[in-house]
Amino acid sequence: MNSNYNKLFEPFTFASGVTIDNRVMMAPMTTNSAFENGMVTTDELLYYKRRSAGLGAVITSCAQVMENGKFAGSFSAASDNRIESLSKLAKTIQSTGAKAILQIFHVGRMGTSSTLRGEQPVSASAVPALRDFAETPRALSDQEVRELIKAYGEATRRAIQAGFDGVELHGANTYLIQQFFSPHSNRRDDHWGGTREKRMNFPLAVVQAAKEAVKTYAEKPFILGYRISPEEMEEPGITLADTLELLEKLKTQGLDYFHVSVGNVMQGPMRDKKNKKPVIQIIQEKVGKDIPIIGVGLIQTPDEAIDALALGIPLIAIGREAIVEPDWIKKVREGNEKFIRTEIRPQDRADLMLPDAMWEYVESRPGWLPIVED
């Protein structure tokens, strides 16, 4: 192995006590391939097994905490009769030596009535997303909000009982936790909104519900992480200052890490084009001394991974590159980094073990993966 990459292979121990073998994780990415009832398919098990070996940890695609919070092809952690299905996923990842972290979420206003069998999507307020064909959601009542918080705790319990090593609370990518924090999607004037501090109440309550589940049900150290999107382009929308205030509150809650979701790990603030300092570095300097930061976003080569760690963060996650090159960590470890694949051809599908629905999803979004035709 090239000694320049030694840092990638240093073990890391979270505050909870869980140790991962190295600093490289697989980022959560939508496979769109679960059964309609949210059970894990064999295709997905093969997809994860193909990519997990050698990584420190794998964060799965998101699993809904309630059935009105799903999108087509997402996993379900919404009922006890899905524990066995989730257990197969955890064991598949762990059989390769990697730790298995289940990401849990609620789709909120990003859902569709067609996917929800005619049911109207729900959110903090009745404000549609700024996207084509967005549906206007129904605002959740106070009682429904409290039931949702409990659902996050119950989903965490199921992850524990399914044998996962941790849970990541999905507070990013415009889903429900982010919707409660965003001034665009949250126009409430009760306990759950109205000021920035009140918009923090839902995320903080979700963290508490998950923590209680870990305290009650986990018989061994269990990772609890939180994923954020630092900014929104909507007006009004989440600013970097908003996010830094939220992280100041969250860092005292006993979490194991913050996973910062950006398109490029080196990108500067979206709202301040003059500031070229990477957002992840800004966050690292603000809260990184108190809680580990995971960096993600267009990391393809080991040199780019090392550059990301040079920002001061202790952990990196590879996303799309893990789809393109399932043997990424193996090739780096064995000194074969020059053979790392950075683009794919349609004939690579069999080796990549991409489920049909995932391949269809990829093809419908030109440019999302570097696909080349012979």
Q: Which residues are catalytic?
A: 175
Alpha-carbon gap, residue 272 to 275, rounded angstroms: 6
Rounded CA gap, 34 and 164, in Å?
Answer: 18
Token digits for 234? 């909507």
Question: From CA 262, how far away is CA 251, in angstroms rounded?
Answer: 20
For residue 8, the 8-state DSSP code is: G
Q: How many CA atoms lie within 13 A of 271 on its CB side?
A: 14
DSSP codes, 106-164: --GGG--TTTTTTPPPEESSS---SSTTPPPPEEPPHHHHHHHHHHHHHHHHHHHHTT-
Beta bridge mates, 223: 166
Quick check: bond before 183 cis, omega within 30? no
Whole-angstrom Cα distance, residue 344 to residue 321? 10
- Distance separating alpha carbons of residues 79 and 197, to the nearest angstrom: 32
Q: Are strands 63-64 and 257-260 parallel, antiparallel or unpaired?
A: unpaired
Handedness of CA 135, 116, 172, 305 (dihedral sign): negative
